[in-house]
Amino acid sequence: MSTPKIHGIIGYTVTPFGANGEGLDLDALGRSIDRMLDAGVHAIAPLGSTGEGAYLSDAEWDQVAEFSIRHVAKRVPTIVSVSDLTTAKAIRRARFAEAQGADVVMVLPTSYWKLSEAEILAHYQAIGASIGVPIMLYNNPATSGTDMSVELILKIFHTVENVTLVKESTGDIQRMHKLHMLGEGQVPFYNGCNPLALEAFTAGASGWCTAAANLIPQLNLDLYQAVQEHDLQRARELFYRQLPLLDFILKGGLPATVKAGLELSGLNAGEPRRPVFALNQSARQQLQTLLQTLG
């Protein structure tokens, strides 16, 4: 099994809803994907935290996965988040995504009960044994309630053949240094914490998984390019320019802030699904000011 070359800016999509957060607006989803592709992002990742994958019915999840993969149409790799509470449901989603043509599936060990390391490893082993596409292991304790140590991540990486990529979202740069050192430089890792983008790239991250590409793709891409060209001064300037917006969308909640930003830029993606609130008027004005500053 060969892993597609995943690098650079990986754009995370929202899931646009109709009125009152009900029904899917696939037309708006297609337009949001096209905006990122036209800007030049290097991969598209539907159904993550930004895409409210946890709030969709199985039928809706299937629709969004199928539509996104077909709409991207192999123009860039597609990374589909298949996380679910049970191993069986995650396997169902992973198989569905693979059947539709996903290049990679992303797995976050979400749980209600705290999982032991043996349970987490078995979860990845079962999913890996059920599909033939690469898996991006995803560590994000803020949303999953599970924090995988670097040692556990490497154990899974070396045990499960198709776990070939790691997304690290703790916001702790030392994790990335440790992944690089203990993994002897052989573990492709990706940054999932927006305010850590510059440090992550300099620590050797292969890419930046970000919802900011919905709003400021060119700045994201320019930062990556500056790092590739080893122009640290320009990379710093580009990073500090976008940092206020990166902080804002993270602290305000990605579905609410990114959907509000899309609407302010002319693409109505609806509101987040309850219990998540849409951005209030004061925050919308703050976001508009930030976007105008960057425009």
Q: pLDDT digit string (tens) for 76-85?
A: 999 999 999 9
The phi, psi pair for 34, rounded to 5°, reads -60, -40
Q: Where are the domains of the chain?
A: 8-240
Phi-psi region of 80 (alpha: psi -120 to 50; beta: other; left: phi over 0): beta
Residue 183 reports pLDDT greater than 80: yes
38: Cα within 13 Å, side-chain hemisphere: 9
Q: Is residue 55 packed enough to be buried (19+ CB in 10 Å), middle (13-18) or exposed (0-12)?
A: middle
Determine which of 98-107, 116-125, 134-143, 218-227 has the lowest per-residue pLDDT on average. 134-143
Prediction pTM value: 0.96
Catalytic residue (choose from 12, 138, 190, 224): 138
Catalytic residue (choose from 124, 167, 224, 259): 167
Residue partners of 30: CB distance under 8 A and separation at least 6: 67, 71
What share of the chain in percent tops pLDDT 70?
99
138 is catalytic: yes
Residue 239 to residue 248: CA distance in whole angstroms: 14
- Under DSSP, is residue 167 helix (H, G, I), strand (E, B) or coil? strand
Residue 141 reports pLDDT greater than 90: no
167 is catalytic: yes
pLDDT digits (tens, 9 = 90+) for 228-246: 999 999 999 999 999 999 9
Residue 50 annotated as binding site: yes
Order the strands of the 189-191 sheet from edge to edge: 43-45, 8-12, 207-210, 189-191, 163-168, 135-139, 104-107, 79-81
Q: Where does the pLDDT of residue 147 fall: very low under 50, low under 70, confident under 90, or very high at 90 and above?
A: confident
pLDDT at position 18 is 87
The DSSP call for residue 168 is E
Residue 234 to residue 225: CA distance in whole angstroms: 10
Q: 8-240 belongs to which homologous superfamily?
A: Aldolase class I (3.20.20.70)
Average pLDDT of span 101-110 = 95
